[in-house]
Amino acid sequence: MIEAEWWDYEDSSELIEAVAGDVGFIIESALDARGSCLIALPGGQTPLPIYEKLAKAKLDWKKVTIIPTDERIVAMTDPLSNAASIARIFLPKGARVIPVISEKAPDYKSAGVAADARLQDFPWPPDLVWLGVGTDGHTASIFAGPDLDDALNAPKGRRMVGVMPDPLPPEAPVARVTLTKNAILSARTLMLVLTGKEKKKLLEKAIKEGAGSSLPVGRVLADAEQAIDIHWSA
């Protein structure tokens, strides 16, 4: 049974304020408790205004390490790069932003192996994994397609894998690397942020269907052992 708490906001400015506040609090608490903080942030468009707001928070950003929940296999100079969007906002604050794409990887599966090796260097678990949801039901880059099982059922210690979405999403039709289901669910705190009525309906369906869902996000959340905060505005 997925234990989800929905937070609905009147408009996007309320959502931005609330989520930036919550994430700031998670970072501050981790710094107090452990002296450092590791968070995984999503790519795409939805989180960008929240990142802008969060970056204004007075935090000891030098002690914060940020990894992308998933990355499109493109150069860091490409506008599709998730890590580049995150870096543009948080690097000037002094945070460490970790790119996970190795230009030497000959194919997407090897890119997944290289991304996983890079993440093995970091103290685990992350203090926060913040997820987005696509209109096709993907979360992070766990998509329908031939590699869905790799992402859902990778061994416990595997943090990232390479995947080829099928069908390719029109907004970013490229292969990806993604946190595995186990890596996502290992987070100390798990949150989802989404906007629009279509995505809300889709996520409600995915949660209801759980492990048997045809939507990857439902399959991922079905095995969560912690409560999940879901932040939404129309």
Q: Which of 99, 112, 126, 134 binds ligand LXAUTJHC (CB under 6 A)?
A: 134
Instruction: Work out the burial of residue 231: count CB atoms within 10 Å of its CB; fewer than 13 is exposed, 13-18 middle, 19 or more buried.
Output: buried
Q: Is 186 in the site for ligand LXAUTJHC (CB under 6 A)?
A: no
Q: Is 182 in the site for ligand LXAUTJHC (CB under 6 A)?
A: no
Provide the token pair at 231. 């932040």
Q: Which of 70, 127, 147, 150 binds ligand LXAUTJHC (CB under 6 A)?
A: 70
Q: Is 46 in the site for ligand LXAUTJHC (CB under 6 A)?
A: yes
- Report CA dihedral (208, 185, 228, 27) to the nearest 10 degrees: -160
- Residues 152-171 touching ligand LXAUTJHC, rule: CB under 6 A, are none
- CB 60 to ligand LXAUTJHC: min, Å: 26
- Report CA dihedral (90, 94, 98, 104) to the nearest 10 degrees: 110
Provide the token pair at 99. 């790119």
- CB 35 to ligand LXAUTJHC: min, Å: 28
Q: Is 69 in the site for ligand LXAUTJHC (CB under 6 A)?
A: yes
Stretch that binds ligand LXAUTJHC, among 39-47, 148-156, 211-219, 226-234 (CB under 6 A): 39-47
Q: Is 126 in the site for ligand LXAUTJHC (CB under 6 A)?
A: no
Q: Under a CB-based contact definition with an 8 Å cutoff, are residues 169 and 195 in contact?
A: no
Q: Is 137 in the site for ligand LXAUTJHC (CB under 6 A)?
A: no
Provide the token pair at 26. 């998670």
- CB 58 to ligand LXAUTJHC: min, Å: 27
First to last CA, the chain: 26
Q: Under a CB-based contact definition with an 8 Å cutoff, are residues 38 and 67 in contact?
A: yes
Task: Give CA–CA dist 32/161, Å, rounded.
Answer: 32
Residues interacting with ligand LXAUTJHC, by CB under 6 A? 42-46, 69-70, 82, 132, 134, 140-141, 172
